[in-house]
Amino acid sequence: MTRVARGISLSIALAVALVAAILASSVVGQLPITPTEIVGSLLRAVGIGNGWAPTDPIVESTIWIVRFPRIVMGLAVGAALAVAGAVMQAIFGNPLAEPGVVGVSSGAAFGAAGVIVFGGTLGITAALGSWGIAVCAFAGGLVATLVVYFVSRANGRTEVVTLLLTGIAINAFASAGLAFLLFMGDTASREQITFWQLGSLNGSLWREVAIVAPITVLGTVGAIMLGKRYDLLALGERNARHLGVNVEALRIGSIVLVALLTGVAVAFCGIIAFVGLVVPHVIRMVIGPSHRPLLVASAVGGAALLTFADLVARTIVPGADLPIGMLTSLIGGPFFFYLLYRQRKRSGGWA
């Protein structure tokens, strides 16, 4: 099968998976809702379904207050994390780069947790209001990404071992910082910080979706617009410069983009690891390294994956809502080990 044919097949598969994830998440749950009720509610919302069979008020509120915000949040966060992972892999030139692995998610969570505990004392909450957590999560993710970038660069390229060690160091520092904030915070603050450490879409609200979704769309569009430059960067820094690419500006801009996408996801849903590692890597193996189709497919694949993962998280145990970050780690952990094993085998280790 040619690469074009694989790309078309993958696009169809991702579209089907996305639609299936949305439909399944809409109807499956502790309160079963039929597809007819979903369609009727949507038609009434746009003013063309007034003649549709009436819906139970409890079902109607469940659809619009609980499930739809959670589904849209899952779509936005999954797309944001997958695109952020694809961009990180492009600028580092390494398939092991991912916001959670190299500590960007932890840095963003630390920034968000700092606002939860000290935002009122420092005046951040009064100055920024509901944007305070998102802004400080972005700042924490940006600092972590800049540290990773500058520490892991050597002689014009990224050292894999240094990249991983830097990520370990940042994750350790962020974990220590979160532990300190847990110690300093009150009961409500501790509960919120624990939520960030576990990762969950539970309790998503439309006002939060109104922040995450537009930033995800703008960030994804921005990454797609840079796709051609990422292709040139993959040829090597020297070749990219000769072809007119400002490599350092591209990398710094991409770092800000990654921090923005990761920060806004972490700010409202906590640490959800490995989405940015698994999705872009699998898609790259199917359709190749061209970044524009890779970024588009990663956004769709990340949205579908996280929506399915959230469906499993809230239905696998009756009456319980499992942390979605735990499920993605169960998928991504073994996959990360496989990538690391393959990388070491190529370099002559782990015979």
Q: How far is CA 85 from CA 223, 238, 280, 318, in A?
A: 11, 24, 7, 33
| CATH class belonging to 3-346 | mainly alpha
Contact in structure between 281 and 339 (CB atoms under 8 Å):
yes
Q: How far is CA 205 from CA 26, 220, 269, in A?
A: 16, 22, 11
The pTM for the full model equals: 0.86
Tens of pLDDT along 119-177?
767 777 677 776 777 788 888 888 888 888 788 777 666 666 777 788 888 888 888 88
The CA distance from 26 to 71, in Å, is 8
The CA distance from 96 to 276, in Å, is 10
> What pLDDT shows up at residue 258?
87
Q: How far is CA 150 from CA 7, 92, 248, in A?
A: 35, 11, 11
Tokens 């991409």 sit at which residue? 254
Tens of pLDDT along 314-327?
888 887 788 888 88
Over the chain (351 residues), the average pLDDT of each successive run of 10 is 74 89 89 83 74 70 90 95 92 79 82 83 72 81 82 69 80 87 84 78 88 93 94 88 87 85 84 86 86 93 93 84 83 75 64 47
How many of the other CB atoms lie within 10 Å of CB of 338? Answer: 11
* DSSP string across 193-209: HHHHHH---TT--HHHH
